[in-house]
């Protein structure tokens, strides 16, 4: 196989994994990051890597929930009306995918990506000596009433169809699995097919350190432009440094991908599903040992090194819109009615954006428009967990080898990218 030089742009979980994978395949890789590896979206997430995440937000049940969501008072989904109006075509495309046939295509594709990613995480965590940052004891969906539990039946049926290991727990069984939970949840579902990280940022940093220790080049540079070199290859232009010439480029800029690719005439139909997190102390006797999704409060509570991280639902808004405390305050109030949440530990909430494409599948593979340009972006709610599988798929496509799973549902060409 011929060795080529690659620039990977963006060192979130997706970019770092792409850099590691290409390096392991014998290519020369420079990783460009304007801040620190894992310093943005890949640091602030809930750290869950679960097969249950094969069900995207735009599943067929969304239609039934829509009237209540449109009131803009739900903790699960809020939106800026101005943003929604500006992005009406993308939102229509997103809603249009909430039908049975596209749902079946997407869940099948995402399951393959998630399953492969969990294996690859174990590999990279072992290589990077970061196993201690991972737990392998599943996660819990908590229900405050039988009615709420019954309303999620179709999601459980989808999980069962894919063989996702999960079991329903009554209040007694729940307390034996997670003694820190009070009596506010008569029913829960324990998704056994799930891992979780105690510090997502440190996981990305450990993987990035492995890349550097293995001889990879990590450049702290804000990439401003990509241009095609005369003849063959690409030039990467960053602030305050000479342009770098490489054979091929991988864009893995998460929510910032549309800006750089727009300069190349590629219009990425990305939606921003923003979210917030805050860390809390715990006034209970027993701490939580694994992440839980409090479905009534529409938020995830995940034990992290810094404290209990509460991550909110979705806020559809511009990437750089001012932060709003409404959703976090609402989730916190709802959680406090059931759990002994302690004081806030951060001076302000973290804000990030889940980068989502209308069919809830990331774009992974060669650009259909520009030779030597590869894309790894649009990982919605699951990019922390699916970076390694993304990279494995990309690496095999780069080397024209058999792919670990079907690449077609992820082809950038479906959006003319």
Ligand X SMILES: Cc1cc2nc3c(=O)[nH]c(=O)nc-3n(C[C@H](O)[C@H](O)[C@H](O)COP(=O)(O)OP(=O)(O)OC[C@H]3O[C@@H](n4cnc5c(N)ncnc54)[C@H](O)[C@@H]3O)c2cc1C
Where does this chain bind ligand X (CB under 6 A)? 9-15, 32-35, 39-42, 44-49, 222-223, 252-256, 275, 277, 311, 352, 354, 377, 379, 381-385
Q: Compare residues 55 and 172 and give the one whose CB is closer to ligand X.
A: 55
Count Cα atoms within 13 angstroms, Cβ side, for 122. Answer: 9
Nearer to ligand X, 101 or 359 (CB): 359
CB of 289 to ligand X, least distance (A): 16
* Residue 183 CB, nearest approach to ligand X (Å): 26
Q: Would you say 404 and 114 are in contact if contact means Cβ atoms under 8 Å apart?
A: no
Structure tokens at 109: 């594709």
Tokens of 16: 């770092």
Question: Residue 88's Cα: distance from chain center in Å?
Answer: 23
The residue to which tokens 């819109």 are assigned:
321
Closer CB to ligand X, residue 231 or residue 265?
265
Nearest alpha carbon to residue 261 among 355, 180, 132, 342: 355
Measured distance CA(350)–CA(402) in Å, rounded: 40
Residue 386 C-beta-side C-alpha neighbours within 13 Å? 31
| Side-chain-side CA neighbours of residue 397 (13 Å) | 25
CB of 253 to ligand X, least distance (A): 5
Cα distances from 128 to residues 27, 42, 132, in angstroms, run 19, 17, 11
C-alpha 55: how far from chain center: 13
Shortest distance, position 262 Cβ to ligand X, whole Å: 12
Residue closer to ligand X, measured from CB, 153 or 223: 223
State the burial class of residue 69 (Cβ atoms within 10 Å of its Cβ: 0-12, 13-18, 19+): middle
Cβ-based nearer residue to ligand X, 153 or 257:
257
Answer for the pair 19, 27: CB distance below 8 angstroms, yes or no.
no
- CA-to-CA distance for 254 and 12, rounded, in angstroms? 8
* Residue 86 Cβ vs ligand X, minimum distance, rounded to whole Å: 20
- C-alpha triplet 337, 343, 349: angle, nearest 5°: 95
From the CB of 49, what's the least distance to ligand X, in Å?
Answer: 6
CB of 186 to ligand X, least distance (A): 25
Residue 355 vs 409, nearer CB to ligand X: 355
318-335 burial, b at 16+ Cβ within 10 Å, e below that, comes to ebeeeebeebbebbbebb
Note the Cα 201 to chain centre separation in Å: 13
CA 76 to chain centre: 17
User: Considering beta carbons, is residue 173 or 326 the nearer one to ligand X?
Assistant: 326
Rounded to a whole number of angstroms, the minimum distance from the CB of residue 236 to ligand X is 9
Smallest separation (angstroms) from ligand X to the CB of 271: 12
Residues in contact with 28: Cβ distance below 8 Å, sequence separation at least 6, in sequence order = 3, 4, 5, 6
Measured from the CB of residue 146, what is the shortest distance to ligand X in angstroms?
Answer: 27
**CA 384/CA 367 separation, integer angstroms:** 23
Nearer to ligand X, 100 or 253 (CB): 253
Where does residue 367 rank: exposed (0-12), middle (13-18), buried (19+ CB within 10 A)? buried
């Amino acid at each position: 196989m011929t060795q080529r030089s690659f620039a990977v742009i963006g060192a979130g979980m997706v970019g770092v994994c792409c850099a590691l994978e290409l390096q392991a395949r014998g290519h020369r890789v420079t990783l460009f990051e304007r801040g620190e590896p894992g310093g943005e979206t890949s640091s602030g997430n809930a750290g869950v890597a679960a097969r249950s995440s094969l069900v995207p937000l735009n599943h067929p049940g969304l239609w039934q929930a829509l009237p209540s969501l449109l009131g803009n008072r739900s903790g699960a989904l809020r939106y800026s009306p101005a943003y929604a109006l500006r992005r009406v075509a993308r939102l229509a495309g997103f809603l249009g995918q909430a039908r049975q046939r596209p749902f079946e295509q997407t869940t099948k594709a995402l399951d393959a990506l998630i399953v492969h990613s969990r294996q690859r995480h174990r590999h990279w965590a072992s290589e990077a000596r970061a196993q201690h940052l991972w737990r392998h004891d599943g996660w819990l969906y908590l229900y405050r009433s039988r009615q709420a539990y019954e309303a999620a039946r179709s999601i459980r049926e989808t999980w069962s169809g894919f063989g996702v290991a999960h079991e329903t727990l009554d209040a007694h069984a729940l307390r034996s699995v997670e003694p820190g939970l009070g009596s506010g949840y008569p029913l829960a579902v324990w998704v056994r097919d799930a891992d979780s990280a105690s510090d997502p940022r440190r996981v990305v940093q450990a993987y990035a350190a492995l890349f550097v220790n293995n001889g990879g080049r990590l450049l702290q540079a804000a990439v401003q432009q990509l241009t095609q070199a005369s003849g063959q290859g690409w030039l990467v232009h960053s602030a305050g440094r000479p342009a770098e010439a490489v054979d091929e480029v991988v864009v893995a800029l998460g929510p910032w991908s549309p800006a750089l690719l727009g300069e190349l005439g590629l219009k990425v139909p990305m939606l921003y599903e923003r979210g917030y997190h805050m860390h809390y102390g715990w006034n209970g006797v027993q701490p939580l040992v694994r992440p839980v999704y409090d479905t009534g409060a529409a938020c995830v509570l995940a034990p992290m090194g810094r404290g209990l991280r509460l991550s909110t639902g979705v806020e559809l808004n511009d990437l750089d819109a001012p932060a709003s405390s409404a959703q976090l305050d609402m989730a916190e109030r709802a959680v406090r009615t059931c759990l002994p949440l302690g004081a806030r530990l951060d001076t302000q909430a973290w804000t990030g954006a889940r980068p989502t494409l209308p069919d809830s599948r990331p774009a992974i593979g060669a650009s259909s428009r520009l030779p030597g340009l590869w894309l790894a972006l649009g990982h919605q709610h699951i990019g922390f967990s699916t970076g390694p599988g993304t990279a494995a798929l990309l690496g095999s496509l780069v080397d024209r080898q058999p792919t670990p799973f079907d690449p077609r549902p992820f082809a950038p060409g479906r959006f003319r990218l």
